[in-house]
Structure 1
Amino acid sequence: MEEDRYVIVQCPFGCGSRLRFPGATRSLQVTCPRCKQTFTWTPFGIMWDDRFHVARRNRLSLLARQVRGKSKWIGIALLLLLALAGLSVLTENATQEVSSSKPQTLNKNEPPPKPGPRPDRRKQSLPEGSSKSMPVAKSPRAGGILPLSKLIPPPSEQEQRLPNGVYLEPPRLTQGHSSLLVENGTSWDAVVKLVKQEAESKITARSVYVRQGKSVLLTDIEPGDYILAWCHGTDWDTASKQFNQPMGCFVADKTLTFTESITRDSEGTQVRHKGWRVTLHQVVGGNLGRNSISEEEFHGL
């Protein structure tokens, strides 16, 4: 057939036109009718020219610029649509506020409503035997479970509070050289107990009151293993030696070991001792956890 004597190829310059070449036995100089570019056709095909690569690259760059230009206009259109949507929402909210602020018309025959009783803003007492459940937040170290200070207000000045560092019991086991620094960074006051573990009994070495945001340094602690426990709360009751508004009692998850060593040399006698620093609030990198206990267990230590 006559069509078998022709070869159809794409323009090597990438303009997209389809060119038909006769089955020639010699080289031909061809000009593309669309892009007007000239190249050489041989019986073996199109002779390669570096201009093919340059033309294709320029065409791709032009296409990319066109796409970026369209994307820019599409982005502007989306921003305009979002602005119009936000304006409509604001207008609707403003309309609702205006409509809700209109005074209500009362029937002349109806008597005006009587004002209800004012709420008692004084501190309400709970029925005997009931308790409030306080929201708490778990912390991995230096306190285990912490009450949320944002949900529960700190103690007010009208509530009973002891001065910071007051001992609730006379200090015992005071012939040592070790020390313990207790820092209370919570929103409540605390009572801290340091109890020494004996073979068959427990001795309360220190029982001290630590106000919120304050610290107390316990000194002259004798060597040994001690249990550290504390209770948070507000409104201290001097008669019962406990808080009227308890916020939780805790015990450290490991004992505090105080050690001393005595060395004698030509310069005299030197005593080396170990001190502890404990925070009742959560700290980054803390290595002391805590467990919750009841008030009965705390007072039983």
Structure 2
Amino acid sequence: MAYLRTLPPTVPNHPRQTLAKLAAILGLCGIGAALPLLTSEGQVSSMRPVAPSLAQLATPPELRLPVSLANGTDIEPPRGQSGYSQLTIANGNDVDAVAKLVDAASGQTLRVVYVQAHKTVVLENLGAGTRLLKFALGTDWDAQQQQFRRLRTVLAFSEPLEFVVQRDDTSEYWKTYEVTLHPVLHGQAQTEPIPEDEF
């Protein structure tokens, strides 16, 4: 069985209504000067636009891509004694990282390196000593403030890294480490959040 629906007849707009709608639309768009408007009594009125020109309309905020340094960039010049130790840093996170290697005895910063998301950096020529490893995670690097602008998290490895040299009658053996800045299954190293002023 078919159904037939009857629609009500359309009523053409009154000229005054059409002019009023047009003036309202143009006024909200901020186009043109004051427009004449006929009232229901037939008197001429005027309608001021929201903005007298398009130049005065609000402009959208400037869009830009987040800043990311090249993988392995030294944020600060390397310091401290050199040697043959190595530290491999893997960042499996979806955000970039800055890793900082600090001498535990003096508190001197030895290396500060940029590690992009899902990238690995190898720090070479490290001397012997006890080191603290801190790192910051985030996006959009601010070179002047030396920190990430967004999604910033600051952590440190709970245990220091002992870069020691072992010697026998003929050779020297330098300690190397491999660390990940992301959680891994059966991982032994623990990290903990630290205040930003301690980074």
Q: TM-score range by the shorter chain?
A: 0.5 to 0.7
Structure-2 residue corresponding to 1:257: 162
Structure-2 residue corresponding to 1:294: 195
| Aligned-residue offset at 1:270 | 1.2
Q: Is 1:281 aligned to residue 173 of structure 2? A: no
Distance in 1 (CA, whole Å) between partners of 2:181 and 2:107 is: 22
* 1:164 corresponds to which of 60, 71, 77: 71
Q: Structure 2 length normalisation: TM-score?
A: 0.67
| Aligned-residue offset at 1:203 | 1.4
| Aligned-residue offset at 1:262 | 2.1
Counting helix residues as a fraction of each chain, which structure ranks higher?
1
Distance in 2 (CA, whole Å) between partners of 1:175 and 1:295 is: 28
Q: Which amino acid aligns with 1:277?
A: E
Gap regions ≥5 residues in structure 2: 1-9, 30-56
1:216-268 Cα offsets, whole Å, 9 max, x none, are 0011211221111000111111122211214200011111111111223xxxx
Superposition RMSD in Å: 2.8
Residues 3-22 of structure 1: matches in 2 within 5 Å? none
Classify 1:178/1:122 alpha carbon distance in 2 versus 1 (closer, same or farther; 3 Å): same
Structure 1 residue ranges, 4+ long, deviating more than 2 angstroms after superposition: 106-118, 120-123
Classify 1:260/1:234 alpha carbon distance in 2 versus 1 (closer, same or farther; 3 Å): same
Aligned residue pairs total 154
Residues 225-240 of structure 1: matches in 2 within 5 Å? 225-240=130-145
Q: Which amino acid aligns with 2:90?
A: E
* 1:188 corresponds to which of 68, 86, 95: 95
Gap regions ≥5 residues in structure 1: 1-105, 124-156
Counting strand residues as a fraction of each chain, which structure ranks higher?
2
Higher RCO, 1 vs 2 (CA within 8 Å, ≥6 residues apart): 2
Distance in 1 (CA, whole Å) between partners of 2:66 and 2:139 is: 7
Q: Which amino acid aligns with 2:67?
A: Q
Higher-Rg structure is: 1
Residues 1-301 of structure 1: matches in 2 within 5 Å? 158-198=65-105, 201-264=106-169, 269-298=170-199
Distance in 1 (CA, whole Å) between partners of 2:197 and 2:107 is: 16
| Aligned-residue offset at 1:122 | 6.0
